[in-house]
Structure 1
């Protein structure tokens, strides 16, 4: 499903903040990485810029409209016990032309007894076929999780088999968002245009499951725990 969450004025304010993350005004340290590191770099910035935990780097974001409205929406959909698990920024720079691999978010996560989860993917630029709008495979969340593998040397991204023929493209206007579950198969094309494709993503799950994750060392990059948990699981 899709929702319009921000006004034009609010989008403009978020873009001003977003660009401070991208240009280094807000230092991101190890929370900034290249999701497209498996491919040769096409410019001077990352192929796909990922910044984990913007709300930890700039805590005022937690009280801003996107986080607050998204939380209310997810609680209406999945229950009052839902809470923010983590957030991230993903930008595709002009002419970077690097696809985000087919994947299911749950492939990145540890197994939890309560599978309720929702990712809210909000466009801050118009998301189009040419700059990398999202594609979702309807009904894929009802099927077994597909085998995943590393998307390429040097990157932390995972990929699985998928094809546009089984999916639906979801172009979005700035301030609108798409909502999907952890088992939903999705991907996006690369950005072939002269503009950015800036997205802000929030991930939610039950508060009790967030506590269980943290007890097991999974915090999605807030510290270095997540890297250690994944390394142990791979052995």
Structure 2
């Protein structure tokens, strides 16, 4: 990426609260990640308590095990992922957009099964997190399938990261939270992506996705980054995003902790 392109991307991210990153993975690399992803989904890789259904209160359709499968810390459950290209490339994006003192805070897989039609409610990620003096955070959302309006592409609200955090409440039995917002909100923007492409958003950016009404999966890999000092403060306050201190440590590709 050229310096001008980096500057434009950074300006867009800080102005809108989100930005389309473009391709992070080749078609061959996408296939490799899908193969591992499916091993998580079919149970070949044991996820233990890291797996949940964010749409647990919705009726499952079409034989789906979950409506919205969330798997926290895939890189801890399957460390070989750290030797593949995505973590290093996403970290470089995070450095470019919010600073080179950031490292991986957590990663997760979110899959919307075919014909489940369960939306992910509008929310701001910061509403899940502990208060920190440095609020810089970035989520890199990577499409492993083409992401469309029909299967649940991401929607973001332009400029919402510059407004106060909205009141949130539990969305149901799956652990998701929600706030008041809709597709009619001024600045609400759908971001469709091809497989291998990514988008980024900040912790205060309002976002959501529709349910999957198509006959194919909508697999996404999400990587979250924040300053190393803030991660240390998070951990001291008991926030490890479900990793648990007695599990294997996660190394940060391209950075030291």
TM-score normalised by the chain length of structure 1 = 0.93
C-alpha displacement at 1:44, in angstroms? 3.8
Match in the other structure for 2:130: 110
- 2:155–2:208: 8 Å Cα contact kept in structure 1? yes
Task: Pick from 14, 18, 30 the counterpart of residue 33 of structure 2.
Answer: 14
Match in the other structure for 1:164: 183
Match in the other structure for 1:2: 20
Larger mean CA deviation between 31-40 and 135-144 belongs to 31-40
Q: Could you tell me how far apart the structure 1 residues matched to 2:64 and 2:143 are?
A: 23
Match in the other structure for 1:219: 240
Q: Deviations over 1:142-184 (max 9, x none)?
A: 00001000001x2211000111122100000000011000000
Q: Could you tell me how far apart the structure 1 residues matched to 2:39 and 2:97 are?
A: 33
Task: Pick from 50, 55, 68 the counterpart of residue 70 of structure 2.
Answer: 50
- 2:184 match: secondary structure: helix
Match in the other structure for 1:35: 54
Q: Could you tell me how far apart the structure 2 residues matched to 1:147 and 1:212 are?
A: 24
C-alpha displacement at 1:122, in angstroms? 0.4
- 1:168 match: secondary structure: strand
Give the alignment of 1:1-235 within 5 angstroms: 1-3=19-21, 4-42=23-61, 43-152=63-172, 154-166=173-185, 167-223=188-244
C-alpha displacement at 1:223, in angstroms? 2.0
Q: Could you tell me how far apart the structure 2 residues matched to 1:50 and 1:29 are?
A: 12
TM-score normalised by the chain length of structure 2 = 0.85
C-alpha displacement at 1:127, in angstroms? 0.2
Q: Could you tell me how far apart the structure 1 residues matched to 2:116 and 2:64 are?
A: 10
Please give the root-mean-square deviation of Cα atoms over the aligned residues, in Å.
1.2
Q: Unaligned regions of 5+ residues in structure 1, if any? A: 226-235
Q: Could you tell me how far apart the structure 2 residues matched to 1:224 and 1:158 are?
A: 25
C-alpha displacement at 1:109, in angstroms? 0.2
Larger mean CA deviation between 59-68 and 201-210 belongs to 59-68
C-alpha displacement at 1:224, in angstroms? 8.5
Larger mean CA deviation between 75-84 and 47-56 belongs to 75-84
Q: Deviations over 1:94-134 (max 9, x none)?
A: 10110000000000000000000000000000000000000
- 1:211 match: secondary structure: helix
Q: Could you tell me how far apart the structure 2 residues matched to 1:188 and 1:195 are?
A: 16
